[in-house]
Amino acid sequence: MGAELSTAKELLGRLVAFDTTSHKTNIPLIAFVEDYLNRHGIDSVRVPTADGQKASLFATIGPSGTGGVALSGHTDVVPVASQNWSTDPFTMVERDGRLYGRGTCDMKGYLACVLALVPAFKARRLSLPIHIAFSYDEEVGCTGVRPMIAELGKTLVLPRMVVVGEPTTMTVVDAHKGPVRWSVDVTGKAAHSSMPHLGVNAITYAARLLGELARMEEELKRLPPNPRFDPPYTSLQVTQVEGGTASNIVPVPCWFGWEIRRLPGYDGMDLDQRLRRFAAEHCLPEMQRIAPETGIRIDITNEVPAFEAGPNSAAVPLALKLAEQNATFAVCYATEASLFQRGGAPSVVIGPGDIAQAHKPDEFLHVSELEKCLAFLARIADWCETG
């Protein structure tokens, strides 16, 4: 374990040094992992984007042609821009039992553990394979993993279980909420602000829509709660607003973004229809009476299903046993688990690090979390050996 821990730390330092902020390429990191696997005699398959700037990577250790346990994680990280870091975010620093650096917690620490154990996995006589499934663009709406999941059961073997290593402090998460995000563009008509009656004020109409969203938010809070989640209801909020041009012009553009985070079992599309209906009945007739070219455009920009492993999942009791835990948890952030589950692979979320440290300046991972994760992954290998 000591040797594996130092390998994991060293690999984590290497992974952190690749600036894989979601809007940048992840190819240098993928090439590094490919090369690392290659040196251990393991072939991997890239699932690239059309422009070749990003790729997922899938590899199998052990018997081919049969589904095993997939160890899944994303290679991208959130931006460091406008964050105040004490040290260079892309140079990992160890201090007081903590590893600092962008992505140490979310979630290169898990990737490093998986890679550090590759020689050990290789040395086992696995009766079930261990798959490695690394994705991109998770932080911008779990979009990058989707083309890889589409290949499962086709060009890539469908795993019998997926362990998504997002930071859960090594507890087993068997449910999460599913976000939907919208973008709303209100287009008004310009006029001198001394003559507001000649223009159409985009901000005024956006405000009406925001009022309707606020009513929807309150109604969602009054629905029967699911106490596994905190908050125990489908949350709704406005996340961004931008509008107007100058203090003496009736504003033409107003844009806002809003989101819901759905409890499992609720698709939320009634809210989409309700906002569109509200716009059609309470905004557009007035706006277009003054200027027919004005309008409101509502787009869904991202949707990740909610995740619920369900009472019949074989993955959950197995994960609990291997993690030496006796309770599962539900979280409000989204992961790729719901997409794997929808793709036919039973999934759980369990990984090193605390989500409280993710996405923040001076992001860190406790070394003890790496140790726990290595031990957990070794028990997965035990299970894959004995079946």
Which residues are part of the catalytic machinery? 76, 138
3-state secondary structure of 65: coil
Q: Which stretch binds Zn ion (CB under 5 A): 162-170, 325-333, 346-354, 364-372?
A: 162-170
The residues pairing with 310 across neighbouring beta strands, listed in sequence order, are none
Judged by beta carbon, residue 234 or residue 335, the one nearer Zn ion is 335
**Is residue 217 involved in binding Zn ion (CB under 5 A)?**
no
The CB-of-107 to Zn ion minimum distance in angstroms stands at 5
The CB-of-108 to Zn ion minimum distance in angstroms stands at 10
Q: Which of residues 94-133 bind Zn ion (CB under 5 A)?
A: 106-107
Q: Which of residues 165-184 bind Zn ion (CB under 5 A)?
A: 166
The residues pairing with 192 across neighbouring beta strands, listed in sequence order, are 249
**Is residue 137 involved in binding Zn ion (CB under 5 A)?**
no
Q: Which of residues 249-278 bind Zn ion (CB under 5 A)?
A: none
Q: Do residues 168 and 329 lie in contact, with contact meaning Cβ atoms separated by under 8 Å?
A: yes
- Structure tokens of 318? 């197995």
**Is residue 339 involved in binding Zn ion (CB under 5 A)?**
no
- Tell me which residue has its CB nearest to Zn ion: 106
**Is residue 76 involved in binding Zn ion (CB under 5 A)?**
no
**Is residue 336 involved in binding Zn ion (CB under 5 A)?**
no
Phi, then psi, of 81 in degrees rounded to 5: -55, 140
Judged by beta carbon, residue 144 or residue 343, the one nearer Zn ion is 144
Length of the chain: 387
The CB-of-23 to Zn ion minimum distance in angstroms stands at 16
Q: Do residues 340 and 347 lie in contact, with contact meaning Cβ atoms separated by under 8 Å?
A: yes
Judged by beta carbon, residue 166 or residue 363, the one nearer Zn ion is 166
Judged by beta carbon, residue 137 or residue 371, the one nearer Zn ion is 137
Edge-first strand order for the sheet with 295-303 is 235-243, 253-262, 178-187, 295-303
Judged by beta carbon, residue 103 or residue 295, the one nearer Zn ion is 103
**Is residue 363 involved in binding Zn ion (CB under 5 A)?**
no
Q: Do residues 192 and 248 lie in contact, with contact meaning Cβ atoms separated by under 8 Å?
A: yes
Q: Which stretch binds Zn ion (CB under 5 A): 2-10, 91-99, 160-168, 320-328?
A: 160-168
Judged by beta carbon, residue 169 or residue 193, the one nearer Zn ion is 169
Q: Do residues 101 and 16 lie in contact, with contact meaning Cβ atoms separated by under 8 Å?
A: yes
The CB-of-74 to Zn ion minimum distance in angstroms stands at 6
Residues near Zn ion (CB under 5 A), total: 3
Judged by beta carbon, residue 138 or residue 217, the one nearer Zn ion is 138
Q: How far apart are CA 197 and CA 84, in angstroms?
A: 46
The CB-of-369 to Zn ion minimum distance in angstroms stands at 14
- Structure tokens of 171? 């507890």
- Structure tokens of 114? 């998986």
**Is residue 304 involved in binding Zn ion (CB under 5 A)?**
no
Q: Do residues 189 and 294 lie in contact, with contact meaning Cβ atoms separated by under 8 Å?
A: yes
Q: Do residues 317 and 132 lie in contact, with contact meaning Cβ atoms separated by under 8 Å?
A: no
Q: Do residues 172 and 323 lie in contact, with contact meaning Cβ atoms separated by under 8 Å?
A: yes
| Cα distances (Å, whole numbers) of residue 345 to 53, 59, 227, 309, 369 | 27, 16, 26, 10, 26
3-state secondary structure of 308: strand
The CB-of-138 to Zn ion minimum distance in angstroms stands at 6
The residues pairing with 380 across neighbouring beta strands, listed in sequence order, are none
Longest dimension (CA), the chain: 80
Which residue in the block uniquely carries the two structure tokens 């040094």? Answer: 17
The CB-of-148 to Zn ion minimum distance in angstroms stands at 16
Q: Which residues bind Zn ion (CB under 5 A)?
A: 106-107, 166
